Structures are given as C-alpha cells and as structure tokens.
Structure 1
Amino acid sequence: MLAAPLAPARTVVTRTVTRTAYWARLLPLLALLACATRIPSFARPLWNPDEGYLAVQARLLAQGGQLYETVVDRKPPLLPWLYEAAFAVCGSGSLTPLRVLAVLAQLLTAALLASLARRRWGDAAGRTAGVLYLLVSVGLNPEDAQAATFEVFILPATAAAVWCADRGRWGAAGAAVAVACLTKQTGGAVLLPALWLLHRQGTSRAGVLRLAAGCALPVLGAALLTDPAGFVFWTVTGSSAYASFTGSELHVLVRALTNTAILAGASAGLLPPVVRAVRLTRAGVPDLWLWLGSSAAAVTLGFHFFGHYYLQLTPPLALLATAALHVLPGERLLTAVLTSVCTCALFLAWGLFAPRPELTHAQRLAAALAERTGPADRVLVWGIHPETYWLADRTPATRFLTAGLLTNYSGGRDGPQVGEKYAVAGAWPVFRRELDAHSPVLVVDDSRGKPYAPDRLPTLRRLLAARYEEVGRVDGAVFYARSPRGRSRSGP
C-alpha cells in the first residue's frame, strides 16, 4: 500500500539525474569549443571601428557624459553600458574583458540552442545543434565574427526569446526580445517567431499581455534612464538617410554578395541538410523558418549588408540543419560536422594570420597623436576610425566620433549622398559650437581622398583655413595644429 506512491518520485529523480548528467557532459564540450573558436579575438587589441566607437563612448560615459546628449550613436544603450561597466571593473586600456564576455555570450547561445533541439528531437540533436552553431559562428571575415560588438551580444538574447516562447514563458520571452532590441534594433526581429509560437500554443489574452509587457517595459525603462527624446531620435527617427539604398547601389550590392558567399562557404556543412529541412515544415519547424526569414530581413534592413549583420542568421541555420540531420542517416551527420570543422579551421587561420592594415594605420595615427599632444588635450580625428582616440588615450573635441554622422558616409556609402546636407539633423550647428567651446589642439584629417574630405565640406574647410595650419603627415593623414590667428580666436 505504501510502495505505490514511490514510483513517480523515483521517475522524477531518474529524470533529474539524467538531465544533470547530460549537461555535465555537454557544457564542458561547448565551453571548450567556444573558447577555441574565439582564440583569434584575443590576438589583436581591436578588430573594427565599432569596437573603437564603443570603447570611446564608454570612456566618455565614465567621465560624466550622458548617452544621447553628450555621447551619441545610432545604437541602443545596452552595449555602451556593458563596455562602461567592464572598463570600471577592469580598466579601459584593453578589450580583453569584453572578449571574455563574448565567449560567454557564444557559449550561452550554443547551450540555449542545444536545449531547444534536445526538447524537440532528443539528446543527440541537442549536442548537434550546440556544436554546429559554434563551428559556423566564426564563418565570416574575422573583423566581423571575432569583434566584441553588437551582433555577438544579440545572439544569446534572441536564442533566449525563442527558448522561452517554446516553453510558453511569455513574459520572459518578451523581456529577451527587449534585451536583443536594446542591444541593436534589428534584434527585435526575433519577435516574429515568438508570436508564431504564441499563436501555435493557442493565443490567450494573458499570454499576449505578458509578451507585450515583457517587450515594452525594459525599452521604456532604458528610455527613461537616458534622455527619452534623444533615445527615440538616435535609435529610431534620426536614421532615415543612413537606412537608404540610394547613392551607392553597386558598392552595397557587391558587399551583400560577398558576405553572403562567405557565410555560405562557412555553412557548407549545414546548407545541404537545411535544404532537406524545407520538407520538414509540417514536422514542427515553421517557427525556425520564421526566425531565419526575420533574421534575413534584419540583415537587409538599412541596405548596408556588413558581414557582422549576418551573424543573426547562424542560430536558426544551426537548428534547421539539426532538424534535418536527426532523421537522416548517421553518415550525413558525420559529413556535416567534419565539413564544418574544416571550414571553421580555415576561418580561424584567417583570423590568426591575415594582416589588418586598417588597425596598423590607426595605431600609427594614435602614436603620432599621443606624441604631439598632452593627456588633457582635446583632439579631432576627422575620419571613420574612432579607435584612434582610444588607442591614443585622448579625449575627442566633439560628441560626433566619426565623420559619418556629419556626412552620411557611415556604412561605406561612396555615392552622391555624402556631404553636409546629408548629416544627422542639427549635427553641424552642434559640431561648430563644440569646436568653439573645446577647440582641438590638433586636427587629424584622415579622409585620404574619401568623399567626406574637408575640401568637399565648406564648414570644415573654412574652420581649418581660419584656425589651423598643416604641421605634418602620417601614413596619408594630414595633421593640423592651431595657428597663431587660430589661438587668438579660440583662446588658450
């Protein structure tokens, strides 16, 4: 009479032990693979201008700057805050702490994908999804895949959104969508598969309300913690000229095709089973196709097609490949994994051994800048390499850290829509006031013949002619120091 109730308890204990043993074996494997695939990220002090921009923003915020007021960018606030926090704990002289956080972000993403796959298709599928994701996660130009920037930190939030929605945890799913969106706007694309899962599980008013509240409250909180009007302007309404295909159609098309081809090559082990997964839509993967489609739309949004945008495609690709591989013969799985290992090795070698001429250029400029100025001096680097400020440990004279915000060159646009009239609305008057208030001791023209060169910008051309004189050239960049007449106008 007393033995019957023990059976369910024994079953629960057995399941708990099995689950614990599964993750005890899988997590170390995923952690080792995450570390191995991110080794190149530690090999260089900096990978791309986005990292430089975030590093300079973090230093300015630590000095009392206000996001969307005296520190501006077109991105949401979470990653600048994360950089600021990492610098506060570990110092601002190295991005190593951010590299470690990027490894953890990739590990968390892989674990969430493994959990999703295991819930749907079993233990082996969980291992497959986690491993395939990490192998393909570095399959882009290393400056896109290895940098600790927006897309890498979007991925765990997007995976968490689908993971929570798959389990009917609608408030948590909405919060994960919000975290992705507050890391980068395009992270909000994961709301589409979450809504599909809500519909599939039987739309309820309570579920809709919890999902909506989870999405809205963190975004509202971030707006209130910054400047609400500035938050809306810089993250939504102020980027109409930036998010345009007009002006550099061929340039953008070549970039789109190039980065698509690179990711396709890296996904050579995944694409055949993904094609096979087309036939499995009725078997429970329409949400994964929606996830892939919404991520592809996010890559397209803005018409810039940078390589790091494509990272959003990798989680649904890994899951779709897993969905097919778990019903295909075992040799197909072995082929997919071995192919992915080989392509991953090629991309890791690219990251470790390929030269980075733009980094070398920025380091030369920074060394010259540090030599010619003092730690308290403000400087202006007119170009698209904000990392020069960080490498030189010098404070910018303006909140506009690149020429892009003042000319619309951002995004590599090289056509006719570059110039003062295409700047962020109201930027040039603010720029002039800041240069009057904090007259830079040194101006570095790093345009090197690009469409945003000072001789094409009347305001900057007049300012340089009236207040500065050329004092040297370094690696193609022109250095200007204040002239005697400039000092008399600008003060000491």
Structure 2
Amino acid sequence: MLAEPPASLRSVCTPWVPRPRTEHAPAPRRPYFRRLLPLLAALACLTRVPSFRWPLWSPDEGYLAVQARMLADGGALYETVVDRKPPLVPWLYEGAFALCGDASLLPLKVLAVAAQLTTAVLLALVARRRWGDGAGRTAGVLYLLISVGLNPEDAQAAAFEVFMLPCTAAALWCADRRRWALAGAAVACAFLAKQTGGATLVPVAWLLWRAGAGRRDVLRLGVGLCGPVLAAAAVTDPAGFLFWTVTGSGAYASFTGSELHVLTRGLTNAAILAAACAGIIPPVVRVLRIARTGSAELWIWLASSAGAVLAGFHFFGHYYLQLTPSLALLGAAALQILPRERTLAAVSVTAGACALFLAWGMLAPRPELAHAERIADEVRARTAPRDRVLLWGIHPETYWLADRDPASRYLTAGLLTNYSGGRNGPQVGEKYAVQGAWPVFRAELAAAPPALIVDDSRGKPFAPERVPSLRRVLAAGYAPVATVEGAVIYSRVYSRSASG
C-alpha cells in the first residue's frame, strides 16, 4: 500500500486549475492593493536610486538619446536613423524629449522606475491569482530585489530591456486569463521594444494549448501579435524595418571571434545574477522538483528567456534582465508551500544581496563616462553648434554630451566593422559591416564632410589603420589637432582653392 504524502504537500500535489468564474460579486481587492502598491512603489524607487547617480549609464542610452534628437530633427527611422533594434524605445525617447527637452535623461529614468513597478505589479497579480495574497506580495518584492542583480551599467540603464519587461509580464498575465488578443498584443510590444521579447510567445502558446483553445482563440492571438508589428513596419519603412530588426544582423549574431572572451563574459554575468538570486534558487531547486504547483509555463518562460539570452552569442549583462520575471514567479511558487519563516529568510537574503548591488551602483567609478565627457568638452570647444562631427568609436553618448549632430546615420564603428563588446577575432573589418553601409557612409562624408573626426579606437581592432576607407578619408582632408586620453581628434583641412 502506497504511503500517503506529507500533509504539507497534499495541497500542492495536484496541478493548478484556474479559479472558476461565478455570478457572485468579486471579493473587494482594494485593501490588498492599498497596502501592496505603496510597498512596491517605494521599493521600485529605492532600487533605481543609482540610475540617477550619473547622466547616463550605458552606450545604449546614448544611442537612444542621439536617435531621438535625429528623429526630432526630421530623421526617418530605418532610413536616415538606423539601429539593429525595433522602434518602440526610440519612439519613447523621442516622445519624452518632445515633452521635457533633450538635455537630460531624467524623464526616461522616471519612466524606467514606472516600468519596473508595472512589471512587479503584473507578476504579483499572476502569483496572487494562483497561490494567494502572500505569494503575490512575495513575487512583486522578489522581482524588484533581483532586478538590480547585475553590473550597474546593465541593471540601471533606462534602455531596451527595462521597457521590454512590462510587456512580457503583461503577456503572461493576459494569457493566464485567456485574453488571447491582448496577450498577442503584449508579445508584439515586447518584440517592438527588443526582438528577444518575442520569446514570451512560447509560454503564451503553451497556455493557449493547455487551455484547449480553438481556432478562434488562435486567430485572436495571431491578430494581436501581428497587428502592432505590421503597423510599426508600415509607419516606418517596411523593407528597412525587416532588414534592421530581422535579416541584417547575420555577422553580428555569429559566434566566431573572441569565443573565450565572450564565454567568460557569459559565465560571469550568469554568476552575478545567481548571486543576486541566492535567496530564491535553493527553495526553487528543492521544492519545485517534487511538488506540482502548476508552474510548467514558468519553467517554459525561463527556458525561452534563456534562449533569448543565448541568441547572438554576446551575453551582455543587460540580456540577463529577461530572466528575472520568471525567476521571481518561480521563487514565489516554491516559497508559498514552505513555512513562513523560509519565505522571510529567502526575502532577507535577497534583500541583502540587493543592498550590495545598490552600493556597487552608488560607489563604483565610471571611467568610460568620464572619458566620453572629456572628449565631448573638447569637441564642443572646437566646433560651432551647427557643425557635424564623426565619432569613430563605440560610445555614441559623446554626440549627446557634446550637443553636436553626427555626420553619419551610423552612430558607432560597430555598424561599419562588426566590432561589438570585445569581439576582436577575424570577423572585424569593413567587409563585415552591415550590408550596404560603406557606400552610404562614404557618400555621407563626401556630401557634408564633418568638421571634426574623433578617432576613439584606442588600439581596438577597428582602428583607422585597419580600416582603409576611413584611413583614406583622414589622409585626404584632415589633420590631428589634439589627443584626449588616447583618442585622436582630427580637424578638417581646407585647401586654398576651397577657402578662396
């Protein structure tokens, strides 16, 4: 005769089933959220305090700020304003600058706090529906605590992933309630924030299948998914949208080049996030392997998010933010069947780790930002406000800091050489640039030569001596006039015939 399961696990040995709808009036929820929302709001503000410490945190923020200025000046996305990203976050920056001015990223930092709070609330709603009030609080709190568990440059930037995560959480929330059209729209918005947000479609499709949905529900999901994406393509440039967001990044996504460096980065960032989740991982591993809590789609969400982190073989730290919502829900799923003291211990450990990451964010120096600011000061001193300049490097934020317009639509040397994140192997050079970029780039420089060219390669594989086309441009019309911490500034040389 089989032994009866322990009493502490009897209630979790059956799969989760959605609560049946009844005709009775729903129980009032306002007191619960009156207590929870202030807590989550305070925690969201606290965990984002380091983001206000510096003018900006990452080159992605700088790239977005420069794009927003170019769009405000009449630029066209995927034509004269280009990047390998979808349009939602550039539009968000453009709108914030239109309302609040473009001299500060403060509005975007505030929006990032709101995005993190929204994600936490949606996760709390999912957990509360499944496992009760306590699990809802746990999920929301855990998410905000682990959301800063990376290098501050990755966790505190108001960039693509932060604005993608509310959409991914909304997709699961909608699918959990069988609102398939809204779930599809949320997945589409996640994709339009960053392509890897589309990975959320996998757990949504699982929930659709498990719900026994018919053709009409599949159609609703498909329409919700395709509608926003097709609309975004239509209002930009459809061919350009397809190229820049999907088909034009083959060389960038290749694994060839600096494999050891890239793998080391990936393992390091995974270890950092694991340290931030030290309070969550033990109960998840111990409990969820033996107790069925209706969390299959959460594991699927985590797995699909891990696949998104692997995509492109770059393993930047901010990629790992996509793992945090599913990790928070898995932690809540495990802790809700353990004694209360285990939940308190897990949250306490996670809070302690969060405090260390916040201290890191507040105290760590930013040498690359200081370098960009010094170059920006030099550029500003040597040019007039309407002059265009070319910054040959991987720090587009210098354009924004200097308040000068770029001479090209290609804001980093990476787009013209395939250099990215330390990749210095055989696939760096002109022939690995974005398809068709160099003819356009040469035409831009010939039509309106920049007043200054700043070579900020500092010995990296995209230095002018390894890029013949740029080397010829410098030799034909520019002379070095200054050096700033290894960056060489070239000024345009005017011939007598041209000046006369």
Query: Which of the five TM-score ranges fits, normalised by the shorter chain?
Result: over 0.9
Give the match for residue 406 of structure 1: 416
Q: Which residue of 2 aligns with 1:156?
A: 166
Other-structure match for 1:12:
25
- The reply on whether 1:332 has 2:342 as its aligned counterpart is yes
Aligned-partner residue type, residue 338 of structure 2 = L
The percent identity for this pair of structures is 71
- Pairing of 1:387-402 with structure 2 (within 5 A): 387-402=397-412
Shift of 1:430: 0.3
Give the deviation of 1:438 after TM superposition.
Answer: 1.5
Does the residue aligned with 1:175 lie in a helix, a strand or coil? helix
Match of 1:208 among 199, 218, 235: 218
Query: How many angstroms does 1:188 deviate by?
Result: 0.2
Where does residue 122 of structure 1 map in the other structure? Answer: 132
Q: 2:304 and 2:382 mapped to 1: Cα distance?
A: 49
Partners in 2 of 1:255 and 1:119 — Cα distance?
Answer: 38
Question: Contact (CA 8 Å) 1:277, 1:321: kept in 2 or not?
Answer: no
Q: Which residue of structure 1 aligns with residue 3 of structure 2?
A: none
Any stretches of 5+ residues in structure 1 without a counterpart?
Answer: 1-7
Correspondence 1:428 to 2:438: yes
Q: CA deviation at 1:281?
A: 6.7
Correspondence for 1:3: none
Residue 64 of structure 2 is aligned to residue 54 of structure 1: yes
Corresponding position of 1:312: 322
Alpha-carbon distance in structure 1 between the residues aligned to 2:288 and 2:413: 45
Q: Which residue of 2 aligns with 1:171?
A: 181
Aligned counterparts of 1:474 and 1:281: Cα–Cα separation in 2 = 60
Q: Is the 8 A contact 2:167 2:189 kept in 1?
A: yes
Q: Which has the higher helix share?
A: 1
Read off the aligned partner of 1:42 and give its amino acid letter: F
In 1: Cα distance, 2:240 partner to 2:225 partner: 20
Q: CA deviation at 1:458?
A: 0.6
- Structure 2: which amino acid aligns with 1:54? L
C-alpha distance in structure 1 between counterparts of 2:329 and 2:452, whole Å: 52
- Name which of 73, 76, 90 aligns with 2:83: 73
C-alpha separation between the residues in 2 aligned to 1:483 and 1:59?
Answer: 28
Tell me the SS of whatever aligns to 1:255: helix
Partner of 1:279: 289
SS at match of 2:488: strand
Indicate conservation of the 8 Å contact 1:251/1:414, yes or no. Answer: no
- TM-score, normalising length: structure 1: 0.96
Deviation at residue 274 of structure 1 after TM alignment: 1.7
Q: TM-score with structure 2 length normalisation?
A: 0.94
Are the aligned partners of 2:396 and 2:411 in contact in 1 as well (CA < 8 Å)? yes
- Give the distance between the partners of 1:396 and 1:488, measured in 2 at CA: 27
User: What is the distance in 1 between the residues matched to 2:312 and 2:149?
Assistant: 22
In 1: Cα distance, 2:224 partner to 2:285 partner: 34
What is the root-mean-square deviation in Å for CA atoms of aligned residues? Answer: 1.3
- Which whole-Å CA distance do the structure 2 matches of 1:61 and 1:484 have between them? 31
The answer to whether the 8 Å contact 2:55/2:104 transfers is yes
**Among candidates 112, 116, 127, match of residue 106 of structure 1:** 116
Tell me the residue number matched to 2:11.
Answer: none
Residue segments in structure 2 that go unaligned for 5+ positions in a row: 1-21
Q: Whole-Å Cα distance in 1 between the matches of residues 204 and 175 of structure 2?
A: 6
User: 2-side partners of 1:274 and 1:246: how far apart?
Assistant: 35
Match among 456, 462, 468 for residue 478 of structure 2? 468
Q: Deviations over 1:177-204 (max 9, x none)?
A: 0000000000000000000000111121
Report how far residue 273 of structure 1 moved: 1.6
Matches within 5 A, 1:60-459: 60-279=70-289, 282-459=292-469
Moved over 4 A (4+): none
Contact 2:293-2:333 at 8 Å conserved across structures? no
2:195–2:245 contact (8 Å) kept in structure 1: yes
State whether residues 50 and 149 of structure 1, in contact with CA within 8 Å, keep that contact through their aligned partners in structure 2: yes
- Aligned to 2:453, what secondary structure does the other structure show? strand
Count, aligned residues: 479
Letter paired with 2:489: F
| Distance (Å, rounded) in 1 between the aligned partners of 2:486 and 2:468 | 22
Residues 173 and 211 in structure 1, CA contact (< 8 A), matched pair in contact too = yes
